[in-house]
Structure 1
Amino acid sequence: MEANRNLADALSEAGLTQAELAEAVNDYLRSLGKEGTVSDRTVRHWLTGKTRWPHPRQREALETVFGCTAEELGFMPPAGRRTASSSPEEDSVHRRKFITAATGTTAAAVSLVAAARPYAVGTTDVIRLRNGLDTLTALDASRGGHEALERAALAGAAEALELQKRAASQRIRQRLFGVAANYTASAAWSAVDARQSDRAQGHLNRALYLAGMGKDPVALLRVWNSHAVLARQRQEFPQALDAGQAAQATTVTRRDPLFASLAHARTAIGHSSVGDRRGALRSLGHAEEALAKAPREEPRPSWVAFYGPAELLAITAIVRDGIGDAAGAEAASHRALAAIPQQFRRNRALATLQLALAQLHQRDVDQACATAEQVFVLMHGSALPGRMRSYLGDFYRDLTTIAPDSRAAREWKDRHRSEWSQAR
């Protein structure tokens, strides 16, 4: 008996548990007026290969949830039997219909299921909204925070909250509150990155409430993580430390070392901001230890994809510079830039700017200015997010303080003014 790896991979990609898949299939069956009898045990039989060819309606439900054929999900019809689809041509049309309806999500026909079940919102609706979060995360990674992204995130939160009024169960209601919390946290992060701190604070307060209503520890950690970034941005350093420690206290940090590592890293920045060198280095050590224990293949929400060894190195550079170890900050920045994936363009630009600051703080003015210019090269073609513009302002201020009359400083200031006027 051979395990069904295709189905297991699809389950992981969709971020579903076995129980959630069973519930999604049952939701679909009920929308057709059929009895939903799929259980965790049924899903286990599919995954282990004990059941190689589910019943026709179950196959239809699985194809709807995942947006592909039963064969593509690893199921095999008995020898000599055709699939439930009438022809290969109809299979192709069916798949195209799923793909175009879903705009790239894994739950291809979810909207059709919701329409067929207007008074009972279920797991398929949750999946559809979760997939929308992935789209926003990709947009944030490529463009940074901006008002259109913020509005889209708030619209997603509003839809989740409207749907929870018609939830088929209390469990679905809680999940929708958690989805709304994540959409609101996405809006908050966009405002943080755009340097719109008042709006960001309002969104984070709302997201904190929604995460509590949804009993969603991952969303809760996400909110406290953003709280820590916002507080540091506003130079409210004790609050930044408190937010990092609140992130550490969420239950998900006990289940997943990667989230624990992120919380410790954020706390390390908080300690460095208040001048606690020992606390900063201790928290960095905890972050490194936790990250080394984190399983890489664990299914996680897309918003945390930015965090890993490269991002921890970038955070290490911030912490080292904050405690006066500019040489250590420069070394960590170089290692971070060697490891940050190319698609995280904004993160690479921020790490480059941190490298320039570390070089400047060692009085290597010519090299620091040359490094800082690379930020404009990396972000060419895109408006600079407010947060990045603010950090460039920090570099400009320190440069003016350390070497106001050097030739490199004068040339960089001219370049800075020119790029600044074009980057809005």
Structure 2
Amino acid sequence: MRTNGRLRAARLDHGWLSQEKAAEEISTAGRLALGDPYFTVSVRTYRRWESDGPGWPRPDTAAALRAAFGLGPEHLGFTPPPGHPARLRHAEEASSMERRSFLAAGSVAALGMVNAADLRPRDIDPALVGYFYQQLGGHYTADMMLGPRDLIGTVTEQYRLISDLTRAARGTVREELIQVGVAYAALAGWLHQDAGLWDSTAYWHGIAQMDAQMLANTDLTAYILSNMARLRSDLGDGRAAVDLCRQGLSERHRLSHRIRVNLMHQQAHGHSLLGERTAVDQLLDEASAVVEVVDPSIPWGAVHHNAYFFEVQRATCYGRMGLHSEAQHIWDRINADMPPAARRDTGVYLARQAAAYAATGEPEHAVTLAAQSAEIAAQTRSARHRKELEALRQSMSRWRDDPIGDRLVKALKPLAAQNH
């Protein structure tokens, strides 16, 4: 019996081992994306989708699939009907992908890469390690500009290539490929987290952790703990975030400065969820001093060494703790001079700044910032960003019947348009 292999592959890539789990996750994603608490995809419907030649889904179901997988139905084995805009779009994307594949193949060939499907032990050109790190830096930059969903496929496929090469490599090159693979798996985890795909976030953190354990590298192991702490903070579990970072810092004398900074600022976020301001300030002050001596040659565990990084962490922590006036003054400084390339982050910061204005009784400023933030959120499709704006909407409910409430609805309209 033939099956819809694309949808099945996407399901397994997200760590959903059963069709029942996939139906449940798509239903949850659909309810959030559509704002419809009754939206449901039955197991029977999902099973039909994984059979050969499923029909084109309804608009609401298509939106749920996009929210769950980060891909449109045309990329999940559904065939658009004649005349449907997705048919032309899919053809254009396929042509573009062929061009990108040709260019990528040319770049890799220049490094002397061999067929990754051949996993027999052999010599792998060490230049490949530098190539993958160079690509990783580009992915970090693209993430700030584009958001997560346009990068998930590329990063996960590159991890699989690195993993194949690792199994074929030997000696020092193998160890270096494992290290760069951990960095790619960690980035894949972050992208899924930013997209709101929690199960697959945990899956990729698990991959990174398993790979890191193949090497006796304290930095790598602690780096993964810092990423897991960030996930716990996003889920509101401050105690777990603090405990994970404390575990990573237990051998701080063996850690690079870069990883110590990662752990300390993530631990500060955990303490902010617990309302512990003194610990927040102490950790951020210490981390901001340590970052001055970070070794820039360490290519993973990136720290944004700029004038605003620790101010961003402090303002975010203060906002969580209800210190809105202090947070507002910090956000005013940060958002006045954010670089254009950090588009996704700028959108998130504007949402947090708007929340601070709303909390201090200045809803007009809040709505103005919300409109700018929502435009960016609609383009980058970051679930984390949307969550910030949803929290702002709820915090401004007291102005629901006021003209400012109508302005807020209009300001957030790009988010509703994105769902359809």
Quickly name the TM-score band, shorter chain normalised.
0.5 to 0.7
Q: Give yes or no for contact 1:320–1:328 (8 Å, CA) kept in 2.
A: yes
Aligned equivalent of 1:150, options 149, 152, 157: 152
Q: Tell me the residue number matched to 1:404.
A: 400
Aligned equivalent of 1:165, options 164, 167, 188: 167
Q: Distance in 2 between matches of 1:190 and 1:196?
A: 9
The alpha carbon displacement at 1:388 in A equals: 0.8
Secondary structure of 1:304's aligned partner? coil
The alpha carbon displacement at 1:221 in A equals: 4.3
Q: Distance in 1 between matches of 2:251 and 2:152?
A: 26
Q: Distance in 2 between matches of 1:118 and 1:210?
A: 19
The alpha carbon displacement at 1:285 in A equals: 1.8
Q: Distance in 1 between matches of 2:250 and 2:341?
A: 31
Q: Tell me the residue number matched to 1:176.
A: 177
Q: Tell me the residue number matched to 2:100.
A: none
Q: Distance in 2 between matches of 1:393 and 1:101?
A: 39
Q: Which runs of 5+ in 2 are unaligned?
A: 1-102
Q: How does 1:302-321 map to 2 (within 5 A)?
A: 304=302, 306-321=304-319
Q: Give yes or no for contact 1:126–1:176 (8 Å, CA) kept in 2.
A: yes
Partner letter of residue 168 of structure 1?
R
Q: Which runs of 5+ in 1 are unaligned?
A: 1-99
Q: Distance in 1 between matches of 2:331 and 2:305?
A: 15
Secondary structure of 2:396's aligned partner? helix
Q: Does 1:135 align with 2:135?
A: no
Q: Tell me the residue number matched to 1:262.
A: 262
Q: % of aligned pairs identical?
A: 18
Per the normalisation by structure 1, the TM-score is: 0.66
The alpha carbon displacement at 1:189 in A equals: 0.8
Q: Tell me the residue number matched to 1:371.
A: 369
Q: Tell me the residue number matched to 2:349.
A: 351
CA deviations on 1:126-166 (whole Å, 9 max, x unpaired) are 223323323322331221111x5223222222222222223
Distance 1:383 1:168, change over 3 A: closer
Q: How does 1:22-421 map to 2 (within 5 A)?
A: 108-111=110-113, 119-146=122-149, 149-169=151-171, 171-249=172-250, 254-256=255-257, 258-294=258-294, 298-301=296-299, 304=302, 306-378=304-376, 382-400=379-397, 402-416=398-412, 418-421=413-416
Q: Distance in 1 between matches of 2:113 and 2:275?
A: 52
Partner letter of residue 382 of structure 2?
P
The alpha carbon displacement at 1:392 in A equals: 0.9
Q: Tell me the residue number matched to 1:65.
A: none
Q: Distance in 2 between matches of 1:357 and 1:247?
A: 32
Partner letter of residue 369 of structure 2?
T
Partner letter of residue 420 of structure 1?
L
Q: Does 1:422 align with 2:417?
A: yes
The alpha carbon displacement at 1:353 in A equals: 1.0
The alpha carbon displacement at 1:223 in A equals: 2.6
Q: Tell me the residue number matched to 1:10.
A: none
Partner letter of residue 261 of structure 2?
S
Partner letter of residue 109 of structure 1?
L
Q: Distance in 1 between matches of 2:224 and 2:198?
A: 14
Partner letter of residue 335 of structure 2?
L
The alpha carbon displacement at 1:228 in A equals: 2.1
Q: Distance in 1 between matches of 2:183 and 2:407?
A: 44
Partner letter of residue 156 of structure 2?
L
Q: Distance in 1 between matches of 2:350 and 2:211?
A: 36
The alpha carbon displacement at 1:112 in A equals: 7.1
**Could you say what the CA RMSD is over the residues aligned between the two structures, in angstroms?**
3.0
The alpha carbon displacement at 1:122 in A equals: 4.2
Partner letter of residue 135 of structure 1?
G
Distance 1:253 1:118, change over 3 A: closer
Distance 1:203 1:128, change over 3 A: same
The alpha carbon displacement at 1:294 in A equals: 4.2
Q: Tell me the residue number matched to 1:45.
A: none
Q: Give yes or no for contact 1:327–1:362 (8 Å, CA) kept in 2.
A: yes
Secondary structure of 1:213's aligned partner? coil
Q: Tell me the residue number matched to 2:58.
A: none
Q: Distance in 1 between matches of 2:298 and 2:132?
A: 16
Secondary structure of 1:279's aligned partner? helix
The alpha carbon displacement at 1:125 in A equals: 2.8
Per the normalisation by structure 2, the TM-score is: 0.67
The alpha carbon displacement at 1:247 in A equals: 4.6
Computing the radius of gyration from Cα coordinates, the structure with the larger value is 1
Partner letter of residue 282 of structure 1?
Q
Distance 1:122 1:341, change over 3 A: same
Q: Distance in 1 between matches of 2:227 and 2:292?
A: 23
The alpha carbon displacement at 1:361 in A equals: 1.5
Runs of 4+ in 1 over 6 A off after TM superposition: 100-105, 112-115
The alpha carbon displacement at 1:328 in A equals: 1.1
Q: Distance in 2 between matches of 1:103 and 1:347?
A: 33
Q: Give yes or no for contact 1:174–1:215 (8 Å, CA) kept in 2.
A: no
Q: Give yes or no for contact 2:262–2:303 (8 Å, CA) kept in 1.
A: no
Partner letter of residue 227 of structure 1?
M
CA deviations on 1:276-328 (whole Å, 9 max, x unpaired) are 22212221221222234446xx2343772645331211111011122222111
Q: Distance in 1 between matches of 2:303 and 2:141?
A: 10
Q: More deviation in 276-285 or 313-322?
A: 276-285
Q: Distance in 1 between matches of 2:222 and 2:106?
A: 29
Partner letter of residue 347 of structure 1?
D
The alpha carbon displacement at 1:102 in A equals: 7.9
Q: Give yes or no for contact 2:229–2:244 (8 Å, CA) kept in 1.
A: yes
Q: Distance in 2 between matches of 1:242 and 1:304?
A: 22
